[in-house]
């Protein structure tokens, strides 16, 4: 089973690109800043095989989405997520990564009945200090036109356990996307976005939550402790993936995928 053709969601200032694979309860899959939706090739395929409609979306200013928006921050991505959930039926599971997980928290706090399970992968829902990605992109932003190349090199280092089979091709996709006009600016801006709205919204999340972190994620000061803290704030479950880094869903899909399927198969 393969993903359908790219679809476009009209938003004020541009369009959001997404594709749908499978039939059933929609599950919106949002990659992290600086990434593209093919990051979820394995997880989306598994969800489709297990009776879900996997909705892989590119963030605003990323991948095949437009880069003519005025704002690239957590709140803007939350607005796009609300619109995407409405477009695919009004209720959906959500899987979101990094700073984008914070946007999903905001939406779940406001629309608990419309979020049929929330999976937060390597979540950045508070900002005690700049992450390595923030610092790397901050430096890379000053090194045009070499910034995207520096980001790709760093991106590939965030897989400490093992390199996914398709990582080289995926990295080329990411680099090509960042070369599009406005896309590098969008990635840098989103990574600089404050997580404060997510921190404030944690206590209001009522839907079920699964928190997934890699034990060797150097983006988080103490990955296991951060995963535990986030899960406690939302009264959710946590999954610590041994040897995984910042992208556990791609690095160890045979571990993360079945857990996500089991979690989303339980209805609120």
d(CA 69, CA 60): 7
Domain that residue 50 falls in? 7-265
Query: Would residue 1 count as lying in a domain?
Result: no
- Which CATH number characterizes residue 245's domain? 3.40.50.1820
Question: What's the predicted TM-score (pTM) here?
Answer: 0.93
Q: Going residue by residue through the chain (268 aa), what tens digit of pLDDT does each one get?
A: 457 799 999 999 999 999 999 999 999 999 999 999 999 999 999 999 999 999 999 999 999 999 999 999 999 999 999 999 999 999 999 999 999 999 999 999 998 889 999 999 999 998 754 455 555 555 555 555 667 888 888 888 899 988 998 899 999 999 999 999 999 999 989 988 899 999 999 999 999 999 999 999 988 878 999 999 999 999 999 999 999 999 999 999 999 999 999 999 986 5
Query: Would residue 61 count as lying in a domain?
Result: yes
On whether the CB atoms of residues 97 and 124 are closer than 8 A, the answer is no
Query: Would residue 233 count as lying in a domain?
Result: yes
On whether the CB atoms of residues 152 and 129 are closer than 8 A, the answer is no
Q: How many domains does one find in the chain?
A: 1
Query: Would residue 2 count as lying in a domain?
Result: no
């Amino acid at each position: 089973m393969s993903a359908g053709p790219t679809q476009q969601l009209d938003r004020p200032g541009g369009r959001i690109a997404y594709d749908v694979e499978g039939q059933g309860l929609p599950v919106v899959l949002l990659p992290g800043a600086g990434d593209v939706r093919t990051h979820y090739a394995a997880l989306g395929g598994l969800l489709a095989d297990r009776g879900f409609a996997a909705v892989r979306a590119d963030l605003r200013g990323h991948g095949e989405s437009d880069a003519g928006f005025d704002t690239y921050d957590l709140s803007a991505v939350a607005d796009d997520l609300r619109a995407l959930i409405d477009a695919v039926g009004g209720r959906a599971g959500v899987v979101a990564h990094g700073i984008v997980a914070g946007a999903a928290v905001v939406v779940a706090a406001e629309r608990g009945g419309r979020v049929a399970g929330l999976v937060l992968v390597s979540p950045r829902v508070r900002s005690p200090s700049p992450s390595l990605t923030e610092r790397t992109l901050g430096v890379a932003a000053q090194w045009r036109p070499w910034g995207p190349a520096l980001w790709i090199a760093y991106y590939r280092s965030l897989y400490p356990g093992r390199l996914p089979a398709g990582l080289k091709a995926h990295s080329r996709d990411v680099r090509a996307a960042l070369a599009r006009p406005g896309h590098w600016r969008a990635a840098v801006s989103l990574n600089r976005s404050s997580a404060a709205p997510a921190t404030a919204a944690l206590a209001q999340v009522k839907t079920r939550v699964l928190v997934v972190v890699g034990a060797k994620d150097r983006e988080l000061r103490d990955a296991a402790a951060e995963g535990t803290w986030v899960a406690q704030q939302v009264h959710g479950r946590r999954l610590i993936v041994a040897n995984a880094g910042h992208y556990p869903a791609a690095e160890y899909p045979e571990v993360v995928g079945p857990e996500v399927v089991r979690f989303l198969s339980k209805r609120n």
